[in-house]
Structures are given as C-alpha cells and as structure tokens.
C-alpha cells in the first residue's frame, strides 16, 4: 500500500483553503477483517466515547477563548485536531474505506492511509458567536448523507466482502460523505473558518499537477459516484421520515392505551 501523503498548497494558496482528508485507496481488502470489521473496532468506539466527552468540554472552552482571542489557543487546537483525526481514521475503517487497523494514538504514523490537515488560523468572532446557527444547513446535509450511507451499510458490507474490495464509485461516494463530515466537524470545532464545501467532489484542476495526490486529493467523482451520493441523501430523507412517522404512531398508540 502506498504511503499517505498530504502536502497541500502553502503560502501561495489562492482563495479559501478547506480542511483536507487524504485517503489511500486499498487495491484489495482482507475478507476476514471485512467480515468482523465492527467487532474489531469496538475498542476504538470505547476510546472515542471518552474522547468525545473531553472534546465536548474542550470545544466549549475553545468557543469562549475564540471570542476573546479571535483564534483557538494552541493546546485546544492541537487536542481537537488530534481528536478529529482519530475519529476520521476509525470512521474510515468502519466505512470499509481502508483495510489497515487504526492506531490507538492522536498522532498517526506518517505512512497511515488516512490523514487530515487543518491549519491554525484567525477566526471571525461574529461567526464564532453564531456558529451553532450557521452550521445548521451543513448539519442537515451531513446528517442525511451519513444516515443514508449507514441505512444501506449492509449492502456495502456484502459487496465489499464478496469482491474483496470496494467498487470505485462506492469508494468515491463513501469518501465524499466522510470528507464532508470531517469538514463539518472541523467547522463546528472552530478548527477552520471555512464553511463545509465540496460535497460532490472537486474539480480535477483544483490541485496543481506537481502536488502529490491521494485518492481524495482532489476527489474527482464519476457520474456513478455522484449518483450514489445523491442516493445517500434520498435514503437519508426517507429514513428520517420513516423514523418520525414511526415515533408519532408509537406515541399515539401509547396515548390511546
């Protein structure tokens, strides 16, 4: 497996810089690890539970600090960036995007096939103050896409198990879902001032030719990949409607009794 690299534009950046998720697409996956993937990740889910609690309170501290300083303090930024990277590595494994087991560390090995990049930068205090309201549209898109993917996850698991790999259009759509989730989380945690973008992938010319690329840098999606991503959204909407209708029916039935 090729080493993961993420050497993005630096001083010569043009326009708004977005957080980066680099995924090295595995040519094959071990069927045994695909079969028991979620069981293997249980220790990571436990670690993430406690990290999530710590990150929640750290975000609150960071919010007040950003209002005063116009940026996140370095220790806060470093912890939240490490937490986000850990979460993305576990999520990538759970979504069958990689085969290699995630390390139990906030700082991954440089050759690990999942890397993120967020950069410390100044924050707009007004945008920080209204962050919870500003993020609502992106939260809806992220929630629908993720719930749609997981609603059909048994099918994706079965396909990957039978083929020993994830078909390219499915990889594209799954990677796009995870990348948007990463950018949404980075925005929510004030790791970036950039609003989540690029849900349907990137322009092939968005990264200069001389830059090292991964399967998601840039994430140039095929028509089939975009169709699957749209399907995730549709299934996400259907799942939410079904859940709401079921909850309402259950509540009405309970009241009648």
State the average pLDDT over residues 192-208.
82
Of 71-80, 186-195, 215-224, where does mean pLDDT reach its minimum?
A: 215-224
Q: For the chain, what are the domain ranges?
A: 20-240
DSSP secondary structure of 4-70: P------TT--S----EEEE---S---HHHHHTHHHHTHHHHHHHHHHHHHHHHHHHHHHHHHHHHS
Cβ neighbours around 54 below 10 Å, total: 12
Q: Which of 48, 25, 146, 144 minimizes the C-alpha distance to 96?
A: 25
95-138 pLDDT tens trace: 999 999 999 999 888 899 999 999 999 999 999 999 999 999 99
11 pLDDT band, cuts 50/70/90, is very low
């Amino acid at each position: 497996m090729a080493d993961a690299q993420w050497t993005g534009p630096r001083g010569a950046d043009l326009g708004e810089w977005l957080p980066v998720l680099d995924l090295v697409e595995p040519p094959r996956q071990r069927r045994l690890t695909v079969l028991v993937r979620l069981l293997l990740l249980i220790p990571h889910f436990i670690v993430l539970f406690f990290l999530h609690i710590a990150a929640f309170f750290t975000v609150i501290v960071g919010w007040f600090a950003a209002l005063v300083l116009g940026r996140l303090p370095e220790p806060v930024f470093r912890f939240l960036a490490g937490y986000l990277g850990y979460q993305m590595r576990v999520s990538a494994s759970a979504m069958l995007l990689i085969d290699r087991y995630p390390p139990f560390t906030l700082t991954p090995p440089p050759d690990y096939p999942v890397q993120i990049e967020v950069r410390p930068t100044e924050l707009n205090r007004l945008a920080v103050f209204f962050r919870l309201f500003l993020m609502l549209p992106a939260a809806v898109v992220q929630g629908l896409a993720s719930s749609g993917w997981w609603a059909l996850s048994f099918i994706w698991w079965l396909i990957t198990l039978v083929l020993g790999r994830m078909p390219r259009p499915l990889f594209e759509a799954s990677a796009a879902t995870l990348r948007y989730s990463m950018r949404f989380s980075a925005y929510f945690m004030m790791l970036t001032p950039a609003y989540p973008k690029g849900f349907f992938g990137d322009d092939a010319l968005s990264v200069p030719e001389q830059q090292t690329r991964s399967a998601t840098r840039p994430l140039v999606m095929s028509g089939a990949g975009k169709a699957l991503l749209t399907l995730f959204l549709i299934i996400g909407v259907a799942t939410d409607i079904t859940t709401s209708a079921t909850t309402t029916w259950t509540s009405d039935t309970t009241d009648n009794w």
